[in-house]
Amino acid sequence: DGGITQSPKYLFRKEGQNVTLSCEQNLNHDAMYWYRQDPGQGLRLIYYSQIVNDFQKGDIAEGYSVSREKKESFPLTVTSAQKNPTAFYLCASSWGLGEKLLFGSGTQLSVL
Amino acid sequence: GENVEQHPSTLSVQEGDSAVIKCTYSDSASNYFPWYKQELGKGPQLIIDIRSNVGEKKDQRIAVTLNKTAKHFSLHITETQPEDSAVYFCAAWNTGNQFYFGTGTSLTVIP
């Protein structure tokens, strides 16, 4: 079955540590996105990518980095510069910008 | 940028009643409006969407209406069932190359 796979489901970060969240899709979608979800808030865009080796910052990119070396993969690194990383992180993909989003099941990141 | 406001933040209805969730947007250039349902600990799932050239769209018990002049759109769920209980998000897509999401409505259907 086609879909988006995020891993791990739960992740813990120690002070000063970088952590990487995985996102893989087998839908042949061109566009991929990372969103952050905090309780009681809407989804906020961190980064998005339209094509391989190209990505753009969203509204809250500070303290995060991404790469898009393969069409099916869009990993997100939460760096030590992100001082408030505790949140639910969602990866999504679509055929193109402005098309229907399909979301993964999310990764809950917490700080130890 | 775009600003999407969603109301109410919580909604409780009796099973079988209707539920209505409303969203307003600020940018008249926005032209695509999806609605997502999110269950606890899961990713959002698209349930219905509408484009700006259409005023209403229906899919079984779910409908969405769009008023471009007033810049608001609404989700209507009829004959609610306990499995409709979830958080619902609206969103708007504009030429700024991103979706803007509402803050969510927690719907509880009481059996």
**pLDDT tens, residue by residue, A21-71:** 999 999 999 999 999 999 888 899 999 999 999 999 999 999 999 999 999
Of B32, B43, B103, the CB nearest to A103: B43
* CB–CB contact B99 A48 (8 Å): no
Cα–Cα dist A63/A109, whole Å:
14
SS3 content of chain A, % helix, strand, coil (to 5): 0, 50, 50
What whole-number percentage of chain B has pLDDT above 70?
100
Query: Does A110 contact chain B (CB < 8 Å)?
Result: no
- From chain B, pick out residues whose CB is under 8 angstroms from the CB of A105: 41-43
A88–chain B nearest CA distance, Å: 9
All residues of chain A having their beta carbon less than 8 Å from the beta carbon of residue B44 are 43, 90, 101, 103
CA separation for the pair B91, B108 (Å, rounded): 21
CA distance B74 to B59: 14
Helix (H) and strand (E) counts for chain B?
0, 11
For position B86, what pLDDT does the model report? 98
Report, as ranges of residue numbers, the positions in chain B whose pLDDT lies below 50: none
